[in-house]
A and B are shown apart, each in its own frame.
Chain A
Amino acid sequence: MSAVEASLSAAYPAANEGRLGAATSWLLLTPLLALFALIFVTPVLGMLQQGAFDPDFTTRHFEQAVSRPLYVRIILRTLRISAIVAAGTLLLGYPVAYLMARAKGWQAALLGACVLIPLWTSVLVRSYAWTVLLARNGLINNGLTSLGLIDAPLRLLYTEGAVIVAMIHVLLPFMVLPLYAVLRTIPADLMQAALGLGASGFQVFRRITLPLSIPGIVSGLVMVFILAIGFYVTPALVGGAQNMMVAQLIATEIAEAPTWGFGAALSTVLLLTTLGLMAIFHRAISFERLAGDRS
């Protein structure tokens, strides 16, 4: 039994008892499947077609994406930023998840709220906050100037660094929640026992906590990376046109180019990359972990 099947049958114990017949079940699913067919699957297939036929079958649009230096640069930048953001959320998220897993009572509730509130606050609002903080006369520049650390305001906004910091901020909950889900299951006794046997705090972390939390780490890295490569709002507001990522390139092409073929092709590439990652790491993306106990 795969991990997905195991987690699914754990979540749906009634499944084996099958209280609703197959016909009734499919009937109940019909509205959702009809909506998805009309507004999700068919449009996506149409987009695929628009990228590959112009009017006859052509790979022209796809070749363009990998041959024009500007586009190659944008694709490489997207992959680079997404990898750094995934690693960054892991480094910052691990201590938070660890804290949450060890906390009890009101402290646990408070920590949980601190992670859930940002997750449910508009991405637009949170990205806007970064444009305010990083602006030329923003809080960070003014703070550094009044402390005498810098003479003139630094250029912080519209840099790749700004995109990375803001994206780590926005995507951090998607790392913390799967890490927390795994760390919570490691019994505290295990660490106590190791300490009692003379291991140092670091040894306990390296030999026990870290290896046992690998499923959470993989799950978080995959989620953050997948979400990052398709991110639009934050890079558009914080990075600007100079630090364009793939989603912005697609948006610009669709908005400005006379034909939609290239935008559709690029969008298809992004989609297929995501689906490929989902296929490889489907064990890491579970139905429940994605919910991150949002309920």
Chain B
Amino acid sequence: MTRSTTGSLRWMAVGYAVLAFLLLPTVLVVPMSFGRNPYLEFPPTGFTLQWYEAYFTDPSWMSATLFSARIALLVALLATVIGTLASLALVRGRLRGRAGLQLLIISPVIIPTVAIAIAVFLVFARLQMIGSLLAFVLAHTVLAVPYVVLTVSAALTRVDADLDLAAMGLGASRVEAFIRVTLPLILPGVVSGAVFAFIISFDEAVVSFFLSGVHDKTLPRLMFENIELRLTPTIAAVSTLLTAVSLIALSLVLLLSRLGRGRGQRC
């Protein structure tokens, strides 16, 4: 065996060990959610669905889940519309200060969420909107819109703008051309953006921590409280379900990106 292959074997061993470190903790929670004892243990003894049953029958878990789902759906809708319009301007527009605009648009991803959370909390507290659906939707949309702009911009860049011009040459208006030509071509990117926006909102814990009221709590906020109190394996069941939602969403996005590739490209 040559030196270079032993070298790359060493790289591989370290690389795979790090990947295990990256994946294992979350994976280990899954079997624990099926354990029969009222505390977390590994390996779990017995098999039971009682923690899942506990989650689905508990009114506070259910209302938090529904509240989070409602917020996330509205965020997905709002962020996708706003973000798609902005992407059109960023990719197809004649714009001055594009780089500055892009920095502004991605800044909610980089700026500490805690600082944004405090800032919006101070505003919504004064307006007595703590725990209000609208407050959550607006704040989460700010956090989610950068991801929509990133995915839709990427999709738009791959689509030839001449197609729109061709449609317009054949008598379509600009809006018609967009709706009937460009939009169908970038649809996988737009749907991916919506899925990302949904997940960002649904999993968001920091803004939720400050904006949640005594009764109107999001799912992450309720989970946070339960983890701190170190309660039953119900929390392991909820974690498993949340991970499953993320996995489904990510598979959807990967599937869509495969669909989106090679459509309407410049030859």
Residues of A within 8 A of B (CB): 4-5, 8, 11-15, 17-22, 24-26, 28-29, 31-32, 35-36, 38-40, 42-44, 46-47, 50, 92-93, 95-96, 98-99, 102, 111, 113-118, 120-133, 135, 137-139, 142, 169, 172-173, 195, 200-202, 223, 226-227, 229-233, 236-237, 247, 250-251, 254, 260, 263-264, 267-268, 270-271, 274-275, 278, 282, 285, 287-288, 290-291, 294-295
Contact = CB atoms under 8 A, between A and B. Distances in A.
A231 B111 CA distance: 10
A62 to B, nearest CB: 15
20 contacts: A18-B94, A19-B161, A22-B93, A36-B104, A40-B116, A93-B18, A95-B11, A96-B19, A123-B205, A128-B29, A129-B28, A137-B41, A172-B22, A201-B3, A270-B112, A274-B115, A291-B151, A291-B154, A294-B150, A294-B196
A262 B85 CA distance: 39
**B15, B98, B224 pick with most chain A CB within 10 angstroms:** B15
Interface residues of B, number: 106
Contact of A15 (B98, B141, B199, B253): B98
A290 B209 contact: no
B243 interface: yes
A287 B157 CA distance: 14
Contact of B122 (A19, A47, A285, A294): A47
B4 A39 contact: no
Interface in B143-181: 145, 147, 149-151, 153-157, 161, 164-165
A95 B114 CA distance: 32
Contact of A40 (B23, B108, B149): B108
A138 B18 CA distance: 21
A260 B122 contact: yes
B105 to A, nearest CB: 7
By secondary structure, the A interface counts as: helix
B239 A129 contact: yes
A128 B85 CA distance: 38
B59 interface: no
Interface in B96-119: 96, 98-99, 101-116, 118-119
A137 B230 CA distance: 13
